[in-house]
Amino acid sequence: MNVQRWMTKDTALTALLCLLAVLILRAMVPIGVDANLEMRVSQSNVPIRYLHQRRDIGMTKVVHLDKLDLARHNRFYHSNLGDVGYGENFFADVEASFRITEPGTYVFVVASDDGFALRINGREVCSFVRDRALATQRCPIRLDAGSHDFQLSYFQGGGHAGLRVQYGRAGESKLYWFGENSPFLKLE
């Protein structure tokens, strides 16, 4: 085989263009994550001042997440997916079902910038409905073994953004990201 015949400027340029095309396609296709949770993100047509104001929605998108860890660089940012919200004035809603294997008191730890409301089985466990810098709240609830419904509503007005939700058993220091299974909580 004559290698010199194949090693021309045209062949080298073609190989370089192919490599560039592969790199461009890779940059365009987002990195995927396990789709454990579905989050609906809705852009508001008007400024958002508090969580329960009337919603005037312009655009909505659905984002599939592995866990609720969306606070990086003062943005609504996922470590693999990048920015998943809009720049400002948006709502994000997550509904999921989970199963508790052992009855007891559980703690949901919610960090938000701006406001949120967490409901389990339709009952509000905790909330902060106005603007604020990133702050954390511990939200304890007694849960029986069996299936439960999780609802989280969040809003971002302007400025910095972020949302994180973890959970654990009361009295234990180990926390898990909501979206990840643990020995006592399994997503359905």
Tokens in use for 4?
């010199």
5 found inside a domain = no
Q: Which domain holds residue 175?
A: 33-187
Residues 92/76, Cβ–Cβ less than 8 Å = yes
CATH number assigned to the domain comprising residue 171: 2.60.120.1560
122 is a domain residue: yes
Query: 19 in a domain, yes or no?
Result: no
Q: Residue range 9-15: average pLDDT?
A: 71
In order of 2, 13, 14, the CA distances from 5 in angstroms are 6, 15, 15
Q: Is the pLDDT of residue 32 over 60?
A: yes
175 in any annotated domain = yes
Cα separation of 178 and 83, whole Å?
A: 19
Across the chain, mean pLDDT equals 90
Domain assignment present for residue 43? The answer is: yes
- Total domains, the chain: 1
Asked if residue 28 has pLDDT above 60, the reply is no
Kindly state whether residue 117 falls inside one of the protein's structural domains: yes
Cα–Cα distance measured from residue 116 to residue 154, given in angstroms and rounded to the nearest whole number: 4
Range 129-142 average pLDDT: 96
**pLDDT at residue 106 above 90?**
yes
Please tell me the predicted confidence (pLDDT) of residue 150: 98
Beta strands in 23-145 (DSSP E): 37-44, 57-65, 69-70, 77-78, 82-83, 90-100, 104-113, 116-120, 123-128, 135-143
C-alpha to C-alpha distance for 74 and 156, rounded to whole angstroms: 12
- Does 22 reside within a domain? no
Whole-angstrom CA distances from 162 to 14, 39, 146 are 45, 14, 31
pTM of the model: 0.82
Chain segment 43-94, per-residue pLDDT in tens: 999 999 999 999 999 999 999 999 999 999 999 999 989 999 998 999 999 9
What value does the mean pLDDT take over residues 161-184? 96
Q: Could you tell me what percent of the chain has a pLDDT over 70?
A: 88
Residue 48 lies in a domain: yes
